[in-house]
């Protein structure tokens, strides 16, 4: 059995009772302790965390084609232990998925997840104007201990319209992940393009991800934006 919690906002603490398996971003381990000697080891995943060889190979190909290729390592825990993981002093957000619940997350923002999460990549069909791309990684809860830890460049905030039913609009380059109550709950992309974009007078906020009030969702965003996207202008 595994449990996730954060330490000082920047580190993931994983407590293992008994024996279990953990999947983390390669090279993210920073420390660990266990009674009676070290009882955990690390293996690089050449293909992916899927069960069968064919599924793992297909998943690896899909991640490479879509640019969602996250270098993963498998942590084999053989007994009670506490291990710690971090990545470049980024903030860590822990979330426990309910059975069947799905989180859509950029691969670069994944720090760790348990084997009670099904990991895959899918096309979302939007985001061409930003660094979000046309695909995203998904983690689906398949068991009682479906923990996910994601990374944020700065202290993140969470917007939710589950109770308020308000419309949520966010910059795609600031999105870390989103969780819907039903299915994938993908956003619509809205644009605000005009002749001003052609003469370099754009506001800098010409596109957004938007969830309407009838799409109950929780969105985690970071206080920084990915660099890039399409720049339109005349010199």
Q: For 66-125, write each residue's pLDDT tens digit.
A: 444 578 899 999 999 999 999 999 999 999 999 989 999 888 899 999 999 998 887 665
Which structural domain, as residue segments, surrounds residue 70?
A: 2-221
The answer to whether residue 230 sits within a structural domain is no
Q: What is the pLDDT of residues 169-211, one digit of tens each?
A: 998 889 999 997 666 788 888 776 544 444 444 445 567 889 9
pLDDT surpasses 70 at 161? yes
pLDDT surpasses 50 at 39? yes
pLDDT of residue 127: 42
pLDDT of residue 49: 61
The answer to whether residue 188 sits within a structural domain is yes
What would the 3-class secondary structure string for 51-65 be?
CCHHHHHHHHHHHHH
Confidence of residue 22 (pLDDT cuts 50, 70, 90): very high
Q: Which residue has the higher pLDDT, 29 or 196?
A: 29
The answer to whether residue 228 sits within a structural domain is no
Confidence of residue 144 (pLDDT cuts 50, 70, 90): very high
The answer to whether residue 124 sits within a structural domain is yes
pLDDT of residue 8: 94
Average pLDDT over residues 42-64: 56
Average pLDDT over residues 18-31: 95
The answer to whether residue 183 sits within a structural domain is yes
The answer to whether residue 226 sits within a structural domain is no
Mean pLDDT rounded to a whole number for the chain: 80
Q: Which residue has the higher pLDDT, 132 or 105?
A: 105
pLDDT of residue 187: 85
The answer to whether residue 235 sits within a structural domain is no
pLDDT of residue 69: 58
Strand 102-105 relative to strand 72-78, pairing: unpaired
Tokens of 10: 């920047």
pLDDT of residue 126: 47
Confidence of residue 136 (pLDDT cuts 50, 70, 90): confident
Average pLDDT over residues 50-69: 47
Q: Of 19-23, 165-169, 202-206, which gets the smallest average pLDDT?
A: 202-206
CATH code of 52's domain = 3.60.160.10
Place of tokens 């009030």: 213
Average pLDDT over residues 140-161: 94
pLDDT surpasses 80 at 31? yes
Q: Which residue has the higher pLDDT, 224 or 91?
A: 91
The answer to whether residue 78 sits within a structural domain is yes
**How many independent structural domains does the chain possess?**
1
């Amino acid at each position: 059995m595994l449990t996730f919690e954060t330490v000082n906002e920047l580190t993931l603490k994983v407590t293992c009772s008994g024996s279990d398996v953990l999947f983390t971003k390669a090279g993210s381990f920073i420390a660990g302790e266990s009674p009676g000697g070290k009882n955990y080891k690390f293996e690089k995943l050449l293909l992916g965390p899927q069960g069968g060889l064919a599924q793992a190979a297909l998943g690896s190909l899909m991640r490479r084609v879509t640019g969602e290729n996250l270098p993963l390592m498998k942590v084999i825990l053989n007994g009670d232990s506490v291990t710690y993981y971090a990545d470049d002093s980024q903030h860590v957000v822990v979330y426990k998925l309910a059975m069947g619940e799905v989180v859509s997350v950029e691969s670069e923002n994944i720090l760790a997840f348990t084997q009670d999460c099904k990991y895959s990549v899918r096309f979302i069909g939007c985001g061409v104007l930003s660094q979000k791309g046309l695909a995203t990684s998904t983690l689906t809860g398949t068991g009682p201990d479906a923990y996910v830890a994601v990374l944020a460049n700065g202290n993140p905030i969470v917007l939710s319209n589950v109770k308020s039913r308000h419309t949520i609009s966010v910059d795609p380059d600031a999105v870390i992940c989103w969780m819907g109550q039903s299915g994938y709950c993908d956003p619509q992309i809205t644009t605000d393009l005009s002749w001003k974009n052609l003469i370099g007078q754009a506001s800098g906020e010409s596109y957004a991800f938007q969830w309407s009030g009838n799409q109950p969702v929780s969105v985690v965003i970071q206080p920084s934006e990915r660099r890039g996207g399409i720049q339109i202008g005349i010199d």
